[in-house]
């Protein structure tokens, strides 16, 4: 039976299999550490099929980063909303996403930081990693503004540095208490930088 055959309706479409395989391999080993031939072999698609969907490896890496963005940024927003309507609480609550990430089996840190470290400055892949960090910081700046921060940009920069540091320390420490410490630090930063109505 061939891939995408109507006789095999339960089989995942080729593009999704490629992306799922790339996600798993790129996150574990970094995009540079995984060849296209490995993605082809592990996803079970023909070389022509992979290149039909992703003409260049960078196209596959960018699609991987889009998946990571949806998962991580979506997780941050979900954790913030779960903390309630108060923007003060949301600024601290988003750190629950960090706790969830660091406790996940197979955790290897921030996919964007890891990919940026491998990517050539000025490349589309590097630009996408920078864009992700800018979008997250802009969202946090908006929350900080709504929370009444004296300097929303500064608070957002401090909190994103704390998030990124927590993502990195989660790998190095392999201790769930790292995320708890980051959340406590975020609480102190938010309290010092904002005034409650």
Same domain, 48 and 100: no
Same domain, 178 and 84: yes
4: in domain: no
3: in domain: no
pLDDT for the residue numbered 145:
97
Q: What number of CA atoms fall less than 13 Å from residue 16's CA on the CB side?
A: 6
Per-residue pLDDT of the chain (197 residues; tens, 9 = 90+): 233 334 444 468 999 999 999 999 999 999 999 999 999 999 999 999 999 999 999 999 999 999 999 999 999 999 999 999 999 999 999 999 999 888 888 889 899 999 999 999 999 999 999 999 999 999 999 999 999 999 999 999 999 999 999 998 888 877 778 889 999 999 999 999 987 65
Q: Are 62 and 150 in contact (CB under 8 A)?
A: no
151: in domain: yes
Which CATH number characterizes residue 46's domain? 1.10.10.60
pLDDT for the residue numbered 104:
84
Same domain, 96 and 49: no
Same domain, 65 and 49: no
Same domain, 136 and 93: yes
108 burial level (CB within 10 Å; 0-12, 13-18, 19+): middle
Same domain, 152 and 102: yes
2: in domain: no
pLDDT for the residue numbered 106:
84
pLDDT for the residue numbered 196:
62
Q: Are 166 and 103 in contact (CB under 8 A)?
A: no
Which CATH number characterizes residue 180's domain? 1.10.357.10
Structural domain including 114 reads: 57-193
Same domain, 17 and 93: no
DSSP secondary structure, the chain, as one string = --TT-TT-TTSPPHHHHHHHHHHHHHHHH-GGGS-HHHHHHHHT--HHHHHHH-SSHHHHHHHHHHHHHHHHHHHHHHHHHHT-S-HHHHHHHTHHHHHHHHTSTT--S-HHHHHHHHSPTTSHHHHHHHHHHHHHHHHHHHHHHHTT-SSHHHHHHHHHHHHHHHHHHHHHH--THHHHHHHHHHHHHHHHH----
Same domain, 49 and 118: no
* Number of domains making up the chain: 2
Same domain, 35 and 87: no
Same domain, 185 and 132: yes
Same domain, 164 and 114: yes
pLDDT for the residue numbered 154:
97
CA distance 41 to 5: 19
pLDDT for the residue numbered 172:
83
For residue 49 the two structure tokens come to 């099929």
pLDDT for the residue numbered 8:
44
């Amino acid at each position: 039976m061939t891939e995408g055959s109507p006789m095999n309706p339960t089989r995942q479409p080729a593009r999704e299999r490629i992306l799922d395989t790339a996600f798993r391999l790129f996150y574990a080993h970094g995009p540079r550490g995984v060849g296209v031939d490995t993605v082809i072999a592990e996803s079970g698609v023909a070389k022509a099929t992979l290149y039909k969907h992703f003409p260049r490896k960078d196209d596959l890496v960018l699609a991987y980063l889009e998946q990571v963005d949806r998962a991580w940024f979506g997780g941050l927003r979900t954790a913030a909303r779960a903390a309630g309507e108060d923007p003060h609480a949301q600024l601290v609550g988003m750190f629950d996403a960090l706790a969830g990430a660091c406790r996940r089996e197979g955790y290897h840190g921030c996919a964007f930081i890891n990919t940026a470290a491998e990517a050539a400055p000025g490349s589309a892949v590097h630009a996408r990693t920078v864009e992700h960090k800018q979008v997250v910081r802009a969202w946090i700046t908006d929350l900080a503004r709504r929370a009444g921060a004296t300097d929303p940009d500064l608070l957002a920069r401090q909190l994103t540095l704390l998030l990124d540091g927590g993502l990195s320390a989660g790998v190095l420490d392999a201790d769930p208490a790292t995320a708890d410490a980051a959340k406590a630090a975020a609480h102190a930063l938010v309290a010092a930088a904002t005034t409650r109505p």
